[in-house]
Structure formats: structure tokens, C-alpha cells
Amino acid sequence: MIDVRNAHKELGEFSLRGVDMRVETGEYFVVLGPTGAGKTVLLECITGLYKLDQGEVWLDGEEVTNLLPEERNIGYVPQDYVLFPHITLRENIEFSLSVRGAERAFINQRVEALSNLLGISHLLDRRPRTLSGGEQQRGALARALAPSPTVLLMDEPLSALDEGTRAELAEELSKVSSDMGTTVIHVCHNFDEALELADRLGIIRQGRLVQVGTPAEVFRRPDSEFVARFVGSRNVFPVEAVQAQSSNIRLAGGVTLRATTPLEGTGLLATIRPEEISVGRAAPTEAANVIRCRLRSVEDRGRFLRLHLAGDLSLISIMTRQAFASTGVTEGDEVFASFASESVHLFPA
């Protein structure tokens, strides 16, 4: 278990500010945020590479705030891997065990187990410069896991990989976590990566942890406009009035929507995730919310299409190619956008 309490760190113009974060034993926790938000600094404070100006770090009930990095039993995979270039991959993996005086039989057993788990047994006698990015990443992961760390920290472990290698290594990371019971903190800025791997995730912005929850909670129930937009809910609208008894809300501009559990009060925003908005030629009778629009443009996003809809309420919808083709709709057509009351989420502005 990792417990970060009121962590502060000043680094020039950037500061980590009052971070509280608890990661349970065996949990796979993803820290998600834009470039420069403080993701790497947070990891380096947990490892002890940076000493906190204020706050505490606890591992499995023991305070480690003032311990040196090598005294914390933390495995760390930095973004650039940092494999020793002048020795083989096997020697890289053995390194931390050798300096701790582990017996040769145990070292051999550990290297064999990890290289089999990560599929790099055939690479052990090669040097890092002869390996691909994915192979180097697996080697760096094996080296970090060799001393059986209490926790494994990884900084953008999949960012520099091609899509096929990224998918393979993501599966292996999940397997490592589940098979070894290792507590993991994984830093990234990729939504798909977070959804695929995280038991829980935290969104960090300008040195502050602004929301923590399961992927479903954070992606579908953001509690701020920043989080809503960062996780892809581009449909964000000011709320003019809430009719709590009827579960209706009126947006600025006069459009009325039905929501399941609207908040009361003023200064609210409403968001609808794009993938929860269906588009068709006819207005579905069973939908709680139906908006007449015109399909202004269709944006090809590779695995899906992004539809830009203009009307009394301008919306963005995401559909698969197959689903969109079945509608028979083309750019410029009048369409109906529909979504459930549960898809409308309110939060304070």
C-alpha cells in the first residue's frame, strides 16, 4: 500500500501542491494528466529522487519520507528505460540483485522467471543498443521487478511504442500485476491505456490531484470542467435552471434536457459523453432526450467517426463506421441526436 500525504515540492516555476493519494496493495493505479501536470515529479517524490518540501510518503504502513531511494524497495521504470548500454540485458536484470549480494542460484532463477514472463529469454545475451523499443522496455521492466519491489512505478511505459507492441506490452503489464500481486503506479496521458489497465485512476492538473476514482467514475462522472474535457466529454454546457421535481434541466439558450439525478443550485455545468449520443434520420420515441440537428461534418478518427452536429444544441457524437453507415446519413442532412437521461451528468462550474 502506498500513502502519499499532503505532498508539496517546489521546482522552479512548477510546484506539486498538497497531493493526497492512497493506492491499495495489489492495485493497478494510473495517474493521468497533460504534459507538465506533475506526473513524473510525483513518481520521483515517491521513489525518493526528490525530497519533499512538505508531506509524507508511507509504504505498507512504514514512513519512508526521509529514506534514500535504495532503501525504499521501489521498482522504477523511467520513460527513457536507462538500461546500462555496455552490458548485456541479462547483466542489466541481474544488477540490483548482484549489488545486494544475492546468491548466484537465486539470481539465475529470478532472471529465468522474469524473462519467461516477459518473453525476452532469447534476448538476454544481447546489449540494449541492439534491441527494439519494446524489447528495451521489457528489459527495463524485468530489471525493476528483479528485487521483488513493494511497489512498481512506471513513467509513460507505452508511449514510445508502435500500436502492436503497445498492445502486447499492455497485456504483459496487466499479467505482471495480477500474477505477482505487485502494487503499480503507472503514469500516462492516453485514455485508452488508462481504461485498459487501471483499477483506479487519478487525474492530475498543475501539480494537484483533482479527481480519483474507477475509470467508469472518472470518465462518466467528471466533477469539473477540466476533467470532463480532458477525458473526452467535449459536450459541456452551462445550466440555466434545474427543475428537481421533474428531473429537467434548462441549458443556457433554452434547450431542456431530462437528467436522472440533477443537482440543485446555481453555477452548474452539464456534460454528455459523445459515444452515448446516437444519430439517425428519425426521432426515436423511446429516448429521453431528442435534439433536432444538422450533420455539419464527419471527422475520420481511424477506429471511429466523430460527428459534428449543429442546431439549437451543437453536439459532438462518436460512432463506429458500421453504426454510422447503417443510418444512411450524409453530411448536410437533417438528423436527430438522442441520448438517455442517465447520459446527462451535472457538476459545479
The per-residue pLDDT for range 226-268, each reduced to its tens digit, is 999 999 988 999 999 888 777 899 998 889 999 987 677 788 9
pLDDT at 71: 92
Quick count: other Cβ atoms within 10 Å of Cβ 276? 18
pLDDT the model gives residue 175: 82
How far is Cα 41 from Cα 31, in angstroms, rounded to an integer? 12
How confident is the model over 263-287, as a mean pLDDT? 90
- What is the predicted pLDDT for the residue at 318? 96
pLDDT tens-digit series, residues 62-107: 999 999 998 999 999 998 888 999 999 999 999 989 988 899 999 9
**Whats the size of the chain, residue-wise?**
349
Q: CA nearest 166: which of 185, 186, 148, 149?
A: 186
Locus of grid cell 540490483: 96
- The mean pLDDT of 326-337, rounded to a whole number, is 95
Query: What is the residue type of 342?
Result: E
Query: pTM, whole model, 2 decimals?
Result: 0.89
Q: What is the pLDDT of residues 298-321, one digit of tens each?
A: 999 888 999 999 999 999 999 999
Among 108, 120, 46, smallest CA distance to 83 is for 120
CA atoms within 13 A on the CB side of 159: 17
What per-residue confidence (pLDDT) applies to 158? 85
Whole-number Å distance between alpha carbons of 240 and 349: 12
- What's residue 223's pLDDT? 92
Q: Output the pLDDT for position 174.
A: 87
pLDDT, residue 183, reads 94
**pLDDT value of position 51:** 95
pLDDT digits (tens, 9 = 90+) for 198-207: 999 999 999 9
Three-point CA angle 91, 97, 102, nearest 5° = 120
To the nearest 10°, the Cα dihedral for 288, 292, 295, 301? Answer: -20
SS3 4: strand
pLDDT greater than 90 at residue 32: yes
Give yes or no for residue 160 having a pLDDT over 80: no
Sequence-ordered strand ranges (E) for the chain:
2-11, 14-23, 28-32, 54-59, 62-63, 74-77, 151-155, 183-188, 200-205, 208-213, 235-243, 248-251, 256-258, 268-272, 278-280, 289-300, 305-311, 315-319, 334-339, 344-348
At residue 266, the pLDDT reads 80
pLDDT value, residue 249: 92
**pLDDT value at position 177?**
83
Which structural domains are found in the chain, ordered by start? 2-220 (3.40.50.300), 236-348 (2.40.50.100)
Is the confidence at residue 46, as pLDDT, over 90? yes
The pLDDT assigned to 247 comes to: 83
d(CA 109, CA 12): 45
Start-end of H helices in the chain: 39-47, 89-99, 104-118, 133-145, 163-180, 191-197, 215-220, 225-230, 321-327
59 pLDDT tier (thresholds 50, 70, 90): very high
What is the pLDDT of the chain when averaged over all its residues?
A: 92
pLDDT at 170: 86
pLDDT reported for residue 165: 80
